[in-house]
Amino acid sequence: RMAPLLIKEVTRRIHLTGVFQAVYTVGKLLPKPVATCRYFHRSLNPRKLMETGFSQQLSAPELAKVVATMRLPTTPSVPGLRAMRKGDVGQVRKLLNRFLKRRFEIVPVFRTDAEVAHWLMPRTDVVWTYVVEDAGRPGRITDFFSFYSLPSAVLKSESRKGAKKAAPVYRSVNAAYLFYYGTRDDYDISLTPNEREMCGGAKREKALVRARTDELIRKRLLELMADALVLARNAGFDVFNCLDMMDNSMFIRELKFGPGDGYLRYYLFNYMARAIESPKVGFVML
């Protein structure tokens, strides 16, 4: 019964600062969400996830097949990838704001470097942020991605079907959640005279350029998120979670994410807006 009282008190305090609108998320369905996002999970440690009851029980042969399917490289592959440093904050802020503004409809605006440093600077066991430094122009950041830790307590571990010995007792499932990311979207795409003629107008030309830009972004995100999985696995995480928001649908299937049972619904307080599709949500709520 404390939740309503806490929400009322938070609202009162925020009103005193002159802010009268807000965005919040709830798993339950209330009237009326502006957007609904679904959770997706990518197994990093299939055996532990099964033994803790996070995923379904499998026989030994079935588990071996899943382990082989979910196997990841030992090291990242994107050239120039490294942990974010304090000197990167300014470039990351500009890259993130530009990426969010150009591609999504509900987005935060990071107005100061201090905000970005607060949310994205790496902190041990809290948040991991990696940037890609341009080899041709040292010091120039071209991409970044981040994820944070949110472990779940294990109430009961389960033994595998046909196992000769009991499964170890686990206290938690170490879950990584995808946070903010950004990459370039200003590709110089030119259409041939024949393509322009086939389009038959500026509207179709723009749509074709957009489709080709999306394909280039998709390929880049596949590379970046594949490395995010490797880094999360190397950091000791058991599962990597994300929502079907932003451009996540571009890599969810190919990187072997599976749909979960949970949904996260976005609501706006004291602000009217039309409903939007989950890929247009660019506001990640912790």
Residues assigned a catalytic role? 286
| Sheet bearing 127-133, strands edge to edge | 22-26, 258-269, 35-43, 239-243, 175-182, 141-149, 127-133, 81-83
Q: What is the dihedral of CA 80, 84, 86, 91, to 10 degrees?
A: 70
